[in-house]
Amino acid sequence: MSAAPPPVALDALRRKVRALEAQDRVTRAVLPFGVQPLDVRLPGGGLALGALHEVAGGAEEALYGATAAKFAAGILARAQGEVLWCRRQADLFAPSLAQAGLPPERVIFADAGDEAGVLAAMEEGLRWPGLAGVVGEVGKLSMTASRRLQLAAEKGGQIAIAVRRWRRIADAADLGQPTAAQTRWRVSPLPSSPLPPSVPGVGRPRWFLELLRCKAGEAFDIELEACDAKGHLRLPAPLAHRPASPDAGQGRAVA
């Protein structure tokens, strides 16, 4: 067994590969999540612009893709410009997109008859620099199709997000297949953030976010609070260990 190669040579090789990969790209910019533990583990310190990203829901969410759609909406809400949302099933509820920071004036919907139509519409959208990004809801995503989208995104510099969603939970195994996407995420719902014991109701939703695959990066998972009205994620603050807020006990009712 030969000795491990010196890190200098490895670094030079990495730079070379990166230069080769970046030939066609218009941008190497990233969109940070604004969540420290998330951003430090992503290459470049955020979600790459000009790239294809896959998002799927965990367990039953593979059928509904509700968390995945909200995660995608939260990302694009923080980008500049309009969004093209391509889909086959028209069950996305627009008020919820507005609550994630994507108001009606920022989203154009395109209904396609089949998945090929969704992919074609996504690719068309990626040619228009006025868009912040393109979302497509698809089940199958072949290597060829994802490669085309990845190349189109590289040329245009927008974010392309494939929200993976299947008709049967068994089909969700398809997520293991390789694609040309830059990252692959899985978002599963967790019990919401606890409220004080005397307060009934549902707290801020929480997600279990897994980065399953990442080019030039490593997989990890993290527990987060779901995106707010501006699309920002947040680290959950464990209620028990939270420092008392400065004005605790001084709240006054105004009638």
Give the footprint of other proteins on this chain (CB under 8 A): 59-61, 64-71, 81-82, 84, 90-100, 103-105, 107-113, 117, 120-121, 124-125, 127-131, 188-192, 200-203, 205-206, 226, 229
First vs last C-alpha separation in the chain: 78
Q: What angle do CA 202, 204, 210 make, to 5 degrees?
A: 120
| Nearer of residues 41 and 232 to other proteins, judged by Cβ | 232
* In the complex, least distance from residue 192 CB atom to other proteins, rounded to whole angstroms: 6
Residue 26 or 41 with smaller CB distance to other proteins: 26
As a dihedral over the C-alpha atoms of residue 39, residue 172, residue 119, residue 226, rounded to 10 degrees, the angle is -40
Q: How far is the CB of 89 from other proteins (least distance, A)?
A: 9
Buried b (16+ CB within 10 A) or exposed e, 77-109: bbbeebbbbbbbeeebeeeebbbbbbeeebbee
Contact 75, 47 (CB under 8 A): yes
**CB 208 within 8 Å of CB 187:** yes
Nearer to other proteins, 63 or 151 (CB): 63
CB of residue 176 vs other proteins: minimum separation in angstroms? Answer: 22
Question: Which residue in this structure is represented by tokens 């941008």?
Answer: 27
Q: Which long-range contacts (CB under 8 A, 24 or more apart) does 115-118 make?
A: 115/88, 115/139, 115/140, 117/86, 117/88, 118/86, 118/87, 118/88
Q: Using the minimum distance from each CB to other proteins, give the nearer residue, 39 or 82.
A: 82
For other proteins, the closer CB: 142 or 192: 192
Q: How far is the CB of 190 from other proteins (least distance, A)?
A: 4
Closer CB to other proteins, residue 163 or residue 180? 163
> What's the min distance (Å) between Cβ of 109 and other proteins?
6
The least distance separating other proteins from the CB of residue 16, rounded to whole angstroms, comes to: 28
Rounded Cα distance between 90 and 85, Å, is: 11
